[in-house]
Every structure is written in structure tokens, then in C-alpha cells.
Amino acid sequence: MNSSLQAMRDLLAEDQRYKLDAYQFIRESLQYAHEHMIGELAEDASGEKTGPRHVTGQQLCEACRLYGIEQYGYLTKMVLGNWGIKSTSDFGDLVYNLIRIEQMRKSESDQREDFDDVYDFADAFEPEFELTVKDED
């Protein structure tokens, strides 16, 4: 069996707070961040492209919010809750679980606490309405 697959199975057995879908959502949200929020590849001092730019914890939380709304609309909060995700802190736990089994990487400046209280789940996935008043002439 593939060692990364076994590592994921072991992780799911060890930390049963989150479903496999939650980990897949984090990966997809990271991809979303690179494609829609971060943009260009990082460069080293000589100008060589070195790979995707680093995504901070706060940026990943925002990518999770936007990607979730794009994928699940008004049901985002319910879908994430079904997978065990109830706050941005859960995004951090998921990311650091993936780092621990070497399926994600972190920079020296990254901290687990970067994910705490980034936004309030009660409001973050609610639809935004704008009311306009039509002038009666």
C-alpha cells in the first residue's frame, strides 16, 4: 500500500474529529488560493521561478471561505460542519495534521495559531445582500 495513503488512513483513525472530505477540502482550497488569490509563482533572488507562492494561514482561511461558497453556496456551513469543521481553528488543525504526515509544508514563520479566529463561522457563509432604493421620479 502507498505510504501516503497509509499515513492518511492512520491519521483518520487517530484523529476522528474530521472526515476525509475535510482534508480534501483543505487541499482544494489551497489550490484555489494559488489560482485565484495568490497568483504568480515565487521567484528566488536571481529571478528564477521556484514554485507556488506561500499561502499564509489567514489567506488559506479566506480561500476556504470563498471556495466553500463557490462549491456549496448557502449550504457551506452545514457541509463543513458535517465534516467536523466548525471554526477557522479547525482549518489549522487539519493543515497541521497534514504537515505532520508530510502531505503539506510550512514555512518557518507559520504557526498553528495563525488560523485561530480569522472569521466568525456564524456570519462568514451567510449570503450578502445589497438593498437598493429605486428613485420614483
* CA distances, 11 to each of 24, 94, 100, 104, 112 (Å): 13, 10, 9, 14, 18
Does the pTM surpass 0.85? The reply is no
Query: How does pLDDT run across 67-112, given as a tens digit for each residue?
Result: 999 999 989 999 999 999 999 999 999 999 999 999 999 999 999 9
> Residue range 49-69: average pLDDT?
86
Task: Confirm whether 126 is domain-assigned.
Answer: no
Task: Confirm whether 101 is domain-assigned.
Answer: yes
Task: Confirm whether 85 is domain-assigned.
Answer: yes
Question: Would you state the pLDDT for residue 88?
Answer: 97
Domain that residue 38 falls in = 3-121
Cβ proximity of 63 and 69 under 8 Å: no
36 pLDDT tier (thresholds 50, 70, 90): confident
The total number of structural domains in the chain stands at: 1
42 pLDDT tier (thresholds 50, 70, 90): very low
Question: Would you state the pLDDT for residue 59?
Answer: 94
How far is Cα 30 from Cα 123, in angstroms, rounded to an integer? 22
What's the angle, vertex CA 60, arms to CA 54 and CA 66, rounded to 5?
130
Question: Would you state the pLDDT for residue 46?
Answer: 55
Q: Which residues contact 39 (CB under 8 A, 6 or more apart)?
A: 53
Cβ proximity of 55 and 33 under 8 Å: yes
47 pLDDT tier (thresholds 50, 70, 90): low
Query: How does pLDDT run across 107-130, given as a tens digit for each residue?
Result: 999 999 999 999 999 899 886 667
